[in-house]
Structure 1
C-alpha cells in the first residue's frame, strides 16, 4: 500500500497492482479489477449489485482479506464517480478497514476497529488478517480528504456511509475527522446519520480513550433536550469508552428510550446492522448490560 503511487489510485490504473499475488484471497479465475470497473460503469442499482458480488470476494462472511485492502483506494474513487456517491461502496470500504465483528456488540467490541496487537487472526486464505486490516486503514486514511466532503452531501445514506468509513481511519487523521463529524452533528436532521456521527466520534476516540470524547458522550446521553437517537447512540459510545458500571440514570434511560420503534428506526446504522436484522440496538444493549453472559465473544477475536 505504501508503494502505490497516487497516480495509480487517481487514474484507476488497476494494471499497476499485482493482484495475481493475492489470487488465494479472492479465488482463482475471479477478476477483481474487472469487477471494480463494472461498479464504475453501472447505474446506481447495477453498481450496488456489483458491490455485493465484490463484497463476497474480498470480505467473505464479514472477514476482510488482503485483496480488499488493495481495492480500498479504488473503491473510494469509484464511489465518487457516480452522480450520487455509492453508499454501499462506502460501507464496504469501512468494513474492509475493521476487524471482523461477527455479532460483537459488547462494550469492548462494538467500536473496536483493530484486533489486539498481539493477536494472530487469519483470513480463510491463510494470510494474517491483522495486516490486511491495517493496510486498508492506511489506504482509507490517505483517502480521507476525498470522503470528508461527503458529510455534507444531500443524500443522508451518503453522509452515513462517509461517517462509517471515516471512523476507521488511523490516528494521524483522527483530530480533523473528529472535528468535521462534530461540525456536522448539530446541523444533521436525519436520525440514522445523527446516530452514525455519534458512534463515529466514539470509534475514533476508542483506541486512546479520549477524555473529551468520554465527557461529551456522557453529556449527550444525559441531555433530555437531545433526540432519542443521539442520547442512545451516545450511551452506547460512552459504555464502550469507559469501564464504569452502568449508572442508574443510564439504566433508566435505556429502559424508556431504547424502544422497538427506535431499534427499527436505527436498523440501517452500520454498526448496528452488522449485529442483527432490525434488532441491532437491542442486541448491543443486551450484550452490554449482561457482560458475563457474553464473555465468550472476546475469545472469537
Structure 2
C-alpha cells in the first residue's frame, strides 16, 4: 500500500481494507477478547509490524527486558513510523490499567506515542497542543495535516486508530488520574488528552482531579491536558478557567506556567502584560528543566532549549533567535 500511495494511488481506495489500521483496530475493540488469537492480528500488513508484535508479546508475558520492548515502540514513533504501534494500543491498555502488572507504567507511557504526530519541537500558539485531523476540515479517507510517515503510510490513519482505541477505553483509563504514583497520573493525563471528548467527560475528570491534586507537577499536567482537549473540543468556560489559573498567585509556579501556555493556545487575544511578566519571571532555566518531566514539554523541546523555554520564546518572544538554528549555524 505505502509504495502504491507514494506512486500516486488514491488513498481512499485503501480505506476500510486490510491495510487500514483504523479498520484493524476497530476489529479488536472494544477490548481484546480473551479468545482472540494475538498472532491472528494482521501485524504484517503494517511497516515494522512483526517488531511491534514481538515487543508487545514481551510486555504481555511479564517478560524482560522491558526496556527493549518499550524502546521498540517509542523508537518507531520517534522515527515517524507508528502504524503498527497504533495496532498495539488495544493490547497495551489492559496492561496499563492493571495495577498488579509489572510493566503497567511502561505500557501506559507507550500508549501516547502513536496517538500524536508532528508535535516534536512544536511550541507555537498556532500548533502547540493541536490535533491536526480535524473532522470539520478533513474527510476521513483523504489527506489531512498529519501528512505521511517515513514509510509512506498516512500518519493521520495511525493517529486516528490509536485515539479511537484510547477513546473506547476512557472509562477504564480515567481512574489512573487518581493513582498513588504521580508519574502514572501525569502519563494518564497525557494519554487521555488525545481521546475524543464530546460529552466533556474527560475534561470534567481533569478538573475534578485538579481540585484535589497536591503535587505541583501533576497539577501542571492536568492543566495542559485540559488545554489540549479543549483545543480539540472548544469550551469557552474552560478558557476562562485557565486564565484564572495563571492569574492566581497562590498557585504553584509550574501550574501557573502550564495554564498560561494552555490559555495562549486557546485564544487569539494578545498576551496580556501580566501574563508576560508571569511567564518571564517564573520560567527560569532550573524550572524549565524540571518541567521536562511533563511529556508535553519534553516533546516541545529543541536543541539546547527545554520545552518550557521554547514555548516562552515562540509564544511571547518570537524575535529572539532559535538556539537550535544557532547551534546548527555554528557547525558551518
TM-score calculated relative to the size of structure 1: 0.86
Q: By how many angstroms is 1:93 displaced? A: 1.3
Cα pair 1:94 1:164 within 8 Å, conserved: yes
Task: Compare CA radii of gyration and give the structure with the larger one.
Answer: 2
Cα pair 1:12 1:74 within 8 Å, conserved: no
1:224-265 CA distances to partner (integer Å, 9 max, x unpaired)?
111111111000000000111111111111121112232122
Q: Which has the higher helix share?
A: 1
**Structure 2 residue 48 is the aligned partner of structure 1 residue 26:** yes
Give the Cα–Cα distance (whole angstroms) in 2 for the partners of residues 53 and 154 of structure 1. Answer: 28
Q: In the alignment, which residue of structure 1 is the partner of 2:132?
A: 114
| Residue 109 to residue 196, structure 1, CA distance change in 2 (3 Å) | same
Q: Name structure 2 gaps, 5 residues minimum.
A: 1-24, 139-143, 322-332
Over the residues paired in the alignment, what is the CA RMSD in angstroms? 2.5
Q: In the alignment, which residue of structure 2 is the partner of 1:216?
A: 241
Tell me the secondary structure at the aligned position of residue 26 of structure 2: coil
| Residue 165 to residue 13, structure 1, CA distance change in 2 (3 Å) | farther
Q: In the alignment, which residue of structure 2 is the partner of 1:151?
A: 177
Of residues 32, 40, 46, the one that matches 1:8 is: 32
Give the Cα–Cα distance (whole angstroms) in 2 for the partners of residues 200 and 5 of structure 1. Answer: 24
Tell me the secondary structure at the aligned position of residue 88 of structure 2: helix
Tell me the secondary structure at the aligned position of residue 292 of structure 2: coil
TM-score calculated relative to the size of structure 2: 0.79
Q: In the alignment, which residue of structure 2 is the partner of 1:285?
A: 312
Cα pair 1:264 1:278 within 8 Å, conserved: no
**Structure 2 residue 142 is the aligned partner of structure 1 residue 125:** no
Q: By how many angstroms is 1:10 displaced? A: 5.6
Cα pair 1:160 1:193 within 8 Å, conserved: yes
Q: By how many angstroms is 1:64 displaced? A: 4.8
| Residue 267 to residue 7, structure 1, CA distance change in 2 (3 Å) | closer
| Residue 204 to residue 85, structure 1, CA distance change in 2 (3 Å) | farther
**Structure 2 residue 251 is the aligned partner of structure 1 residue 226:** yes
Q: By how many angstroms is 1:78 displaced? A: 2.2
Q: In the alignment, which residue of structure 1 is the partner of 2:75?
A: 56
Q: In the alignment, which residue of structure 1 is the partner of 2:14?
A: none
Give the Cα–Cα distance (whole angstroms) in 2 for the partners of residues 218 and 65 of structure 1. Answer: 35
Q: In the alignment, which residue of structure 2 is the partner of 1:249?
A: 274
Give the Cα–Cα distance (whole angstroms) in 1 for the partners of residues 166 and 206 of structure 2. Answer: 16
